[in-house]
Structure 1
C-alpha cells in the first residue's frame, strides 16, 4: 500500500512536466548566438534565452535541436524543428509557410580593419582593391546577398572561412584588410582576447542591420501570439537586456507588433 501511494505521488509530481509541449528550436552555427551547432544546448546566447523562456512559463519546454545554416529552412518545412530564431527577412525564407515573431532585438553586421596611423572611417567606404575575409555561406548586403564563394572571390578578392575568429585574426596579422562580423561577435571576440584591445577599427558603416525575428512552422506547438507575449514579458522584466546587452545587441524599448502571423503558401 505504501508503495502504491509513493508511485501515485510520483506520477502526480511528474504530471505537469509530462504535460509540457516540447518546442524544438533550430541551433545553427551563428556566433555568438549559437557557438557550436553540435553542442548548441551548452553554448552561446540561444541557450540563455531558452532557459529564460522555460523559466517564464510551464506550458512549453524549449529545447535546442542542432541544424545548420544551409539546412535549417528544410528542417523547418519538414517539421524537424518548430522554429528558427535570429532570422532576417532578407535571407530567403519568404516562400515557405511560416509565422513570424519580432524578438525585439537588433544587431548589425559591421566592417572591421586593423587600426593603423591615419586610418579612419573613410577606409570602409570603398571595398574594391581590398582583401576581404568572409564567412562561407553567409549573405552580405554589399554583395547583394549573393553567397556564392566563386562570385565573392572573383568580385571582392574574398577569402572564405568557417571561423569568425580566423577572419579577425587575419585582419590583425595583416593577411586580410577587412573582415565582416556582427557587432555582437566583435564585442565577444574582444572580451575573449583582451590582448587585442585597441587594435581593431570597427566601422560606423553597417553592411546590414538585423532586426531578429523567429520563424514558426504552421503546426508548431506554440503560436506566434503566445511566443510574442513571452518575448514581451522577458523584455519588460529586463531578462532580454540581461542576456543580450553585454554583447551590444540592442533590446528595443518597444515592439509595435510583438507577434505577426505571416503565412505563405506558394
Structure 2
C-alpha cells in the first residue's frame, strides 16, 4: 500500500474513533418547523401568495433572524379545515389559538397565553340606536366569519346548527362584513362581529367609516391566544416557546404585538419563568 493510502486509511480510522467518542465537530442540522395559518387579520393576514403578513409574518421573520438554524415554513389552512390538517400532521404548530376554540378535547399540547384579543359587535349608526341595540344580539340578523368561534353562539361553528338558531350570514373576510352592514339591509345583516385590532386599523384610516358605525362597548368575547402543538409531535408547543423566549426577554415581541394594535397577557415573562423558561 502506498504512503498516501496508508495515511487515508489511518485518518478514516481516527475520524471514526473520534465520532464514537463524541468530540469531532459535526455541522449543526437545520430546524424546520411547519406552521399552520389561516386568514385572521391583523394577526395573520394571508395574501394571494399565501405568505402571511401582520403579526405572524413579522414574528416569523424575527424568529428566523434570532435563530440561525431555524427554517419556518407556512402551511395554509382555513378556520374550518385547521383541525383536520392538524390531525393529519400537515403542520407541526399553530400560533394564536384559544384553547376554547375546539382544542381542549384534542390530542394537543397548549402553551400559556402569548396574546390577548377580543371581538366586538358593529352595526350601522342610526339616530335611534345606542348601546341597547346590542342587548338582544340573538334577535338580530348577524354576519359572521365562517369557521370562527363566537361567544354569542357558545362557540358553535357548525353552519347548519347556527342557521337553526340564528339569522346568520357567513362571510370570508371582515371587509365584506362591513360592506353588508353599511348597505343597510336589516333582513340580511344588522350586526357584524369584528376583532378589535382589525377594526382599530380600519377606523384609523377612515374617519367617514368611524362616523357610520356603532360599536359595542362590551365584547362578544375576549380570548387568550396560545401556541398549539401535537403531544407526540416532532416539534412541540414548548419547543416554540423556547424559540420565542429571547424575543420576549429583549422586548422585540412586545414591540411587534403593539405595532399591530394587539395586547400582551399580564406578566408574560413571569409566566415563562414559572413554566421552565428562565428569564
Q: TM-score with structure 1 length normalisation?
A: 0.81
Q: Give the corresponding residue for 2:20.
A: none
Distance 1:186 1:70, change over 3 A: same
Task: Tell me how far apart the structure 2 counterparts of residues 56 and 77 of structure 1 sit (CA, whole Å).
Answer: 30
Q: Does 1:83 align with 2:96?
A: no
Match for residue 231 of structure 1 among 241, 244, 256:
244
Distance 1:98 1:38, change over 3 A: farther
Q: Give the corresponding residue for 1:99.
A: 109
SS of residue paired to 2:45: coil
Q: Does 1:178 align with 2:191?
A: yes
Q: Give the corresponding residue for 1:11.
A: none
Q: Give the corresponding residue for 2:19.
A: none
Task: Report matched runs for 1:147-158 at 5 Å.
Answer: 147-158=157-168
Task: Tell me how far apart the structure 1 counterparts of residues 225 and 198 of structure 2 sit (CA, whole Å).
Answer: 15
Q: Does 1:196 align with 2:206?
A: no
Equivalent residues of 2:174, 2:194 under 8 A apart: yes
Match for residue 125 of structure 1 among 118, 123, 135:
135
Task: Tell me how far apart the structure 1 counterparts of residues 64 and 113 of structure 2 sit (CA, whole Å).
Answer: 16
Task: Tell me how far apart the structure 2 counterparts of residues 106 and 36 of structure 1 sit (CA, whole Å).
Answer: 20
Distance 1:253 1:140, change over 3 A: closer
Cα deviation, residue 92, structure 1: 1.3
Task: Tell me how far apart the structure 2 counterparts of residues 232 and 118 of structure 1 sit (CA, whole Å).
Answer: 50
Cα deviation, residue 101, structure 1: 1.9
Cα deviation, residue 87, structure 1: 0.9
Equivalent residues of 2:92, 2:236 under 8 A apart: no
Give the number of equivalent residue pairs. Answer: 245
Equivalent residues of 2:119, 2:194 under 8 A apart: yes
Q: Give the corresponding residue for 1:205.
A: 218
Q: Find the structure with the greater CA-based Rg.
A: 2
Equivalent residues of 1:167, 1:179 under 8 A apart: yes
Match for residue 112 of structure 1 among 102, 107, 122:
122
SS of residue paired to 2:179: helix
Equivalent residues of 1:27, 1:37 under 8 A apart: no
Distance 1:61 1:207, change over 3 A: same
Task: Tell me how far apart the structure 2 counterparts of residues 127 and 254 of structure 1 sit (CA, whole Å).
Answer: 34
Q: TM-score with structure 2 length normalisation?
A: 0.77
SS of residue paired to 1:65: strand
